[in-house]
Structure 1
Amino acid sequence: MIEKRWQIAPQLSTEQQALADSLGSSLQVDPNLATLLVQRSVTDFDQAKEFFRPDINKLHDPYLMKDMDRAVERLEKAIAQGEKILVYGDYDVDGTTSVTLFYGYLHKYYDRMDYYIPDRYNEGYGVSSQSIEWAAENGFSLIVTLDCGIKSVDKVEAASKHGIDFIICDHHRPGEQLPAAVAVLDPKRTDCPYPYKELTGCGVGFKLLQAFGQSQQHDPALLLQYLDLLVISIASDIVPITGENRILAYYGLQRLNTQPRIGIKALIQIAGLAGTLDITNVVFGLGPRINAAGRIKHAKEAVRLLLSEDVEEAETFAEEINIHNLDRRKFDSSITEEAISMIANDDGLSKAHSTVLYKEDWHKGVIGIVASRCIEQYHRPTIILTQSHGKAAGSARSVPGFDVYEAIESCADLLEQFGGHTFAAGLTLPIENIQAFRQRFEEIVSGSILPEQLVPLIDIDLELNLRAISPKFYRILKQMGPFGPGNMTPVFTSTPVTLVGNPTIMKEKHIKFEVQQGDSACYTAIGFGMAQAFPHLLEKKPFSICYNLEENNFRNKSTLQLFLKDIKFHEPI
């Protein structure tokens, strides 16, 4: 088992404890739950009401976003003059849900429009030259980009020569120069006063439609029907589920669980998802399947499924996408195995503070996933590269606390293109620059990363006695969702605990056992990938666990169980 750092949240200050005591009393909840709320800056009854029951009417005015008035004006002008509008999105989940939402909503009012998703392999990320040529040849005069475009300065300029205007809806960090578009909607613009900065690309598109709907006096409920798409983008793009995203995710999950669109319903069925869906189900069940279309074939297939209004057609499309996902898993598994082997068998790579690997025949569609898998094994900033159109194209992933985008930016002179976020980025460079890039990147990482950032960290909310767990405790805990970045599923530690009965190993990898603390009830604990702990458990000595509390439904019977994140024995394993 990889050694992990446990970091327990600091105890509440005297002032915070007083707030927690008051909150616990007014809400009539367990003191541990009141502590969790104060940790999340929920300190009084009114804040708690807003936290537990987000209000869709509390969404920000879309016109607070810089250029929103110009975007709506240009969209209305295009419709009034009968111009052809092209809805352009990235090939990932955020991009495809963005296109589906924007095209799906607007197409009900206006039909002189089409959508375009670039080919991951032939065109690459962002606005492509091919797409502009295609738009010009087909008579489009307005392109609305979603989840891309903020760095497409030269492409927007080239399009203007064909008489094509742009409205850009993006959420990535802008470069030094903004494209000369009619409107650039991006909350991360330094001059944008919009109060919430963490919208997805789909979220920015939603705000444009919200403003357009207000201007056209549409019933706001019509746009809310698309929240099932928006919550998929929020979950899959790993953005903070705070503020406006929390409201959108809360109502999006309601929509997903009660009235999902036909395409999403087909996807839920083929993914074998049962019961009430949460953010985790979306991240691991729906997101990868939607992504698989663009990774293995073409992302237009995902949009086609999500726009489908015919049940049989949707089921057929969902089956096709599921096959792509199975293919993606095979590529993912074999390339990950190869990458891990490359690190393990190279002394320099295994001892480095970063990982940069290149192999010309790796499948470009899964290299981001492979980078994440490598981090699970070697906890450090990782870049996986493969050959694409004679260049090295890659995906970067990082570890908590380290800004991989900044590190890549410091190597900009060796690159042809790059973009992304703090924890994930994409890049393209000449193949002959790979070795120089690997050396520079390692120098930057080793010179700035903290030693503790190279050890996996488990953030623990609080120490919990197993006696505190009850059905009511779990019911209220569950209402603190939707969980995700900024409001993670609470992690508890209980210490010391003792084994009850004998542990069992499942599928040679996982472990299952009963645990008790003092005179508490016995709880089943499940530890995936923790089979190495088996002999130490047999010693029957007290130990510590950290875990999420979850519900196990089996044969119509629900029981609470502990989903282990780590086990600590008094001697290292």
Structure 2
Amino acid sequence: MKYRWQVAPAQPLPASQLEASLRISPLLAQCLVNRGLRNPAQAADFLNPRLKQLADPARIPNLPAAVERLWRARDADEPVAIFGDYDVDGVTATALLLEVLRPLGWRIEPYLPHRLDEGYGLTRDAVANCLQRYPVKLLLAVDCGSTAVETIAWLNSQGVDVIVLDHHQVAHPPPAARALVNPQLGPTGAVGFRELCSVGLAFKLAHGLLKHGRNRGHPGAARFDLKPLLDLVALGTIADLVPLTGENRRLVTAGLQCLNARARPGVRALIEVAGITGDIRPYEVGFLLAPRLNAAGRLEDATEALDLLLATDPARALALARSLDARNTERQNLERGIAEEVIGAVRARFDPANDYVIVEGQLLWHVGVVGIVASRVLQEFYRPTIILGGDGHEWRGSGRSIEGFDLAAALRRCDDLLVRHGGHAMAAGLTVRPDQVNALRQRLNQLARQTLKPEQLQPLLRLDAAVSLDALTEAGLDEIERLQPFGQENPPVQLLVAGLTHRRAPQKLGREEQHAKFWVSQGGRMVEAVWWGGGGKPWPEGRFDLAVVPQVREFRGQRRLQLRVLDWRPGA
């Protein structure tokens, strides 16, 4: 058993109220309650996400000030530069703003920093390079800037106004930007907007700009339709692993419809090179499209990804998509080599009782893939993990964390050891001198031992309910699909099915026999179960319980129930 299993307690009263009010099944009602939706009106909104439910963008802190300053630049024909981050969130946010502002008359140019030469964020060197290329007096920093106190102070001294559009944690005190648009501001943040990433904020800023323009009688603003740009919002939001609840759920639901329409030449080309023939859902975005868009920015700079999203010529879009696909293959090879090296080194000396945080660094490890490597190491050992690389006096790295350990907060308590740092509770970036790596490892382990209980070092598997095989019907699973799109804080429905036995001998699947297939039975009913990655692991014997994601599979026109196995344990 890899996980700690936790079955959500049955809550008959709120579940029965939802069941009666919304005319839904007991299982769907329980799943809604598990997601914090006890009120019938809130649950109905969740099941029927619509754009008209979106909140007024003016409620986001400092967004009206950003709207006013940008319109002032438009009225004065003042040039503007967008300084965007190189990940999918930053690139899609940059593309969205360009596709809104340019047609409405703004003189605006994008600048995406080079990952290796300029590093992450609003650094002094990167900003100086941007201003050398585009000598502007208004800089719009997208998906970065919330901790760039010194750089923004320097820009102010040069007479450059800065608008920050970002969702990362804010420095204390915050940078002195003309407008710091960040839903994390304040002790509780902007209620209803905290889950937005930067492309979601870009959409809200665009909405605010259009509302302001319509109030002024601007004809272009009155005619402009933001809905076709929601494909960009879906790409960036899913890729950035922010919660698919609230505003994000509404935006992503509509955005997936845009993606499936395949109207944007760049998206259509990317879907083609990724080999996707069916519907686009969060899985296809997160595991097939986003890695290709990310590949250029991980290895050098993200200009090709931005060009692809903005492309209008299908032939050019296909050429760019093929180039990104090749870069993604290169990225995968780099990542695989470093991950194997790290996992082998950690496994050789790993002490589960005492090693609470993993920190590994090596000269010449490619900084563009260390974040993905950190995720793979975390999956292997389930410890907060930081992987560092570089080729000089400073190493840059990325960290990924586990539930219960706020990585960004921990790095703030290591400030004296770091050159710079920033991020979220679950993911962060940092720069450190090589001679401080051991001290950083020791400090983080000390902090983690004070914070985490030993049982938290085994991943928790949250299960929505315990059910029998007979309770799983095609109609019931079709109803569960109303919870789509699945993602962060709205995971696929995960269930406990107890007291199973094998009806047939399990089989290995895959070219390398890395997967397994079972035929399980309970009370006379037999169902197929697939365990991805389970080919080389111990298989259940005798009576056993499964933690599964139930799904309906279509094959040759036939629909049948299939269980995707997450974990197993011996039966009672």
2:230 corresponds in structure 1 to 227
Q: 2:414, 2:528 → 1: CA distance?
A: 49
Q: 2:488, 2:350 → 1: CA distance?
A: 35
2:533 pairs with 1:529: yes
- Superposed, 1:401-412 pairs within 5 Å as 401-412=404-415
**CA distance 1:42–1:444, change in 2 (3 Å):** closer
Q: 1:267, 1:164 → 2: CA distance?
A: 37
Q: 2:331, 2:446 → 1: CA distance?
A: 33
Q: 1:424, 1:335 → 2: CA distance?
A: 19
2:552 pairs with 1:551: yes
Which amino acid in 2 is paired with 1:314?
A
For 1:397-440, what per-residue CA distance to the aligned partner results, in whole angstroms no more than 9, with x for missing partners? 11122211222221110101000000110111111111111111
1:421 corresponds in structure 2 to 424
Deviation at 1:186, TM superposition (A): 0.5
**CA distance 1:28–1:66, change in 2 (3 Å):** closer
**CA distance 1:46–1:445, change in 2 (3 Å):** closer
- Superposed, 1:555-566 pairs within 5 Å as 555-566=556-567
Q: 1:513, 1:155 → 2: CA distance?
A: 58
For 1:181-207, what per-residue CA distance to the aligned partner results, in whole angstroms no more than 9, with x for missing partners? 211100111176553211101111111
1:177 corresponds in structure 2 to 173
- Superposed, 1:180-259 pairs within 5 Å as 180-190=176-186, 193=190, 195-217=192-214, 218-219=221-222, 222-259=225-262
2:472 pairs with 1:475: no
Among 328, 341, 366, the alignment partner of 1:325 is: 328
2:524 pairs with 1:519: yes
**CA distance 1:42–1:131, change in 2 (3 Å):** same
1:8 corresponds in structure 2 to 7
**SS of the residue aligned with 1:207?**
helix
**SS of the residue aligned with 1:364?**
coil
2:81 corresponds in structure 1 to 86
1:40 corresponds in structure 2 to 35
**CA distance 1:73–1:44, change in 2 (3 Å):** closer
Q: 1:406, 1:47 → 2: CA distance?
A: 32
1:442 corresponds in structure 2 to 445
**SS of the residue aligned with 1:568?**
strand
1:509 corresponds in structure 2 to 514
Contact residue 495 and residue 543 of structure 1 kept, 8 A: yes
Q: 2:524, 2:44 → 1: CA distance?
A: 35
- Higher alpha-carbon deviation: 338-347 or 363-372: 338-347
**CA distance 1:134–1:82, change in 2 (3 Å):** farther
**CA distance 1:132–1:371, change in 2 (3 Å):** closer
Q: 1:85, 1:221 → 2: CA distance?
A: 21
2:217 corresponds in structure 1 to none
2:118 pairs with 1:123: yes
Q: 1:448, 1:23 → 2: CA distance?
A: 37
**SS of the residue aligned with 1:494?**
strand
Among 456, 459, 464, the alignment partner of 1:456 is: 459
**SS of the residue aligned with 1:442?**
helix
Contact residue 94 and residue 237 of structure 1 kept, 8 A: yes
How many residue pairs get aligned? The number is 562
- Superposed, 1:216-365 pairs within 5 Å as 216-217=213-214, 218-219=221-222, 222-346=225-349, 351-365=354-368
2:162 pairs with 1:157: no
Q: Percent same amino acid among aligned pairs? A: 34
Deviation at 1:264, TM superposition (A): 1.2
**CA distance 1:136–1:91, change in 2 (3 Å):** closer
Contact residue 166 and residue 182 of structure 1 kept, 8 A: yes
Deviation at 1:530, TM superposition (A): 1.6
**CA distance 1:134–1:392, change in 2 (3 Å):** closer
**CA distance 1:434–1:22, change in 2 (3 Å):** closer
Contact residue 192 and residue 247 of structure 2 kept, 8 A: no
**CA distance 1:190–1:27, change in 2 (3 Å):** closer
**SS of the residue aligned with 1:151?**
coil
Instruction: Give 4+ residue runs of structure 1 displaced > 4 Å after superposition.
Output: 191-194, 347-351
Deviation at 1:211, TM superposition (A): 0.5
**SS of the residue aligned with 2:117?**
coil
**SS of the residue aligned with 2:461?**
strand
Contact residue 150 and residue 179 of structure 1 kept, 8 A: yes
Deviation at 1:307, TM superposition (A): 0.6
Contact residue 64 and residue 194 of structure 1 kept, 8 A: no
For 1:106-153, what per-residue CA distance to the aligned partner results, in whole angstroms no more than 9, with x for missing partners? 111125211011111111111132343234333212111111111111
Deviation at 1:81, TM superposition (A): 0.9
Q: 2:537, 2:498 → 1: CA distance?
A: 17
**CA distance 1:549–1:347, change in 2 (3 Å):** closer
Among 68, 71, 74, the alignment partner of 1:76 is: 71
Which amino acid in 2 is paired with 1:212?
L
Which amino acid in 2 is paired with 1:4?
Y
**CA distance 1:26–1:77, change in 2 (3 Å):** closer
1:487 corresponds in structure 2 to 490
**SS of the residue aligned with 2:363?**
coil
**SS of the residue aligned with 2:483?**
coil
Which amino acid in 2 is paired with 1:553?
E
Deviation at 1:463, TM superposition (A): 0.5
**CA distance 1:229–1:342, change in 2 (3 Å):** same
Contact residue 80 and residue 108 of structure 2 kept, 8 A: yes
2:399 corresponds in structure 1 to 396
Contact residue 234 and residue 255 of structure 2 kept, 8 A: yes
For 1:431-465, what per-residue CA distance to the aligned partner results, in whole angstroms no more than 9, with x for missing partners? 11111111111211123211111112211111111
Contact residue 343 and residue 349 of structure 1 kept, 8 A: no
For 1:292-323, what per-residue CA distance to the aligned partner results, in whole angstroms no more than 9, with x for missing partners? 11112321111010111111110100000011
Contact residue 144 and residue 168 of structure 1 kept, 8 A: yes
**CA distance 1:79–1:374, change in 2 (3 Å):** same
Q: 1:31, 1:221 → 2: CA distance?
A: 44
Which amino acid in 1 is paired with 2:531?
G
Q: 1:45, 1:542 → 2: CA distance?
A: 39
RMSD over aligned CA atoms reads 1.9
Q: 1:160, 1:482 → 2: CA distance?
A: 42
2:44 pairs with 1:49: yes
1:20 corresponds in structure 2 to 15
**CA distance 1:44–1:414, change in 2 (3 Å):** closer
**SS of the residue aligned with 1:6?**
strand
Which amino acid in 2 is paired with 1:209?
A
